[in-house]
């Protein structure tokens, strides 16, 4: 039996008990009031990334020793405070066949994902400290792309992002194609990566009337 059905049965039983006690032909006084125009507006959660181009990194003809540095801003463009911003990396590695006639050093068979180092910094240049799902913390510097992916989601916005405050979190992301001196086998390889930022709302709380917003209904009372 659902909760709604249980409530209906309780009301009916109470009415029956009252009739048995009162008896006679007297009509009971009654009055009914309806409080209309009760509006509930769901807020919006909108994490807005701002960067220099549509793709944060889009580079060809990389060679060992190259570095790439990009900045990204994360702003709360919604109306609900953000408590966590979970960051994750996924990618696809295209490991092509070794070029014909190129000498291969068997002492280093790293894949491209093993030799791309990732470091993320705060706006002030300090290393970014993130929190894992198990509440342990780590610094996101000097990790290979594979190590960063294998971490899974980490929270990079430790103080959250308040709605309507104009605040933003700015990060500097630096990639380095580490030169080991024996990476001929990586010629022609490529990686397509996705940087994922997953915003999570603040904790729920008791709410008072705000008196703001524009009602979208006509105040009618809807009953089942």
Each residue of 80-113: pLDDT tens digit?
A: 888 989 999 999 998 888 776 777 777 778 899 9
Categorize the per-residue pLDDT at 25 as very low, low, confident or very high, splitting at 50, 70 and 90.
low
Whether the per-residue pLDDT at 129 is higher than 90: the answer is: yes
Whether the per-residue pLDDT at 136 is higher than 90: the answer is: yes
CB 114, CB 189: distance < 8 Å: no
Domain ranges of the chain: 47-201
Per-residue pLDDT at 212: 55
> How far apart, in whole angstroms, are the C-alpha atoms of residue 15 and residue 54?
66
For the chain, report the end-to-end CA distance as a whole number of angstroms.
Answer: 16
| Better-predicted residue by pLDDT, 52 or 112 | 112
CB 162, CB 169: distance < 8 Å: no
> How far apart, in whole angstroms, are the C-alpha atoms of residue 195 and residue 90?
7
Residue 48 burial class via C-beta count within 10 angstroms: exposed 0-12, middle 13-18, buried 19 and up? middle
> How far apart, in whole angstroms, are the C-alpha atoms of residue 213 and residue 42?
11
């Amino acid at each position: 039996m659902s909760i709604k059905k249980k409530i209906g049965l309780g009301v009916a039983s109470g009415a029956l008990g009252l009739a048995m006690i009162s008896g006679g032909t007297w009509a009971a006084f009654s009055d009914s009031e309806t409080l209309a125009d009760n509006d509930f507006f769901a807020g919006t959660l909108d994490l807005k990334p701002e960067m220099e181009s549509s793709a944060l990194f889009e580079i060809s003809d990389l060679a060992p020793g190259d570095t790439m540095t990009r900045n990204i801003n994360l702003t709360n463009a919604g109306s609900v405070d953000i408590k966590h911003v979970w960051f994750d990396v996924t990618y696809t590695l295209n490991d092509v066949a070794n070029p014909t006639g190129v000498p291969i050093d068997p002492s280093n068979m790293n894949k491209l994902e093993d030799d791309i180092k990732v470091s993320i910094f705060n706006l002030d240049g300090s290393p970014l400290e993130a929190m894992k799902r198990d509440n342990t913390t780590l610094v996101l510097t000097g990790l290979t792309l594979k190590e960063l992916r294998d971490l899974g989601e980490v929270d990079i916005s430790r103080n959250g992002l308040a709605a309507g405050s104009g605040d933003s979190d700015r990060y500097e992301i630096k990639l380095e194609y580490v030169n080991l001196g024996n990476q001929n086998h990586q010629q022609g390889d490529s990686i397509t990566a996705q940087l994922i930022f997953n915003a999570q709302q603040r904790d729920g709380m008791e709410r008072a009337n705000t008196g703001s917003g524009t009602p979208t209904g006509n105040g009618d009372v809807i009953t089942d």
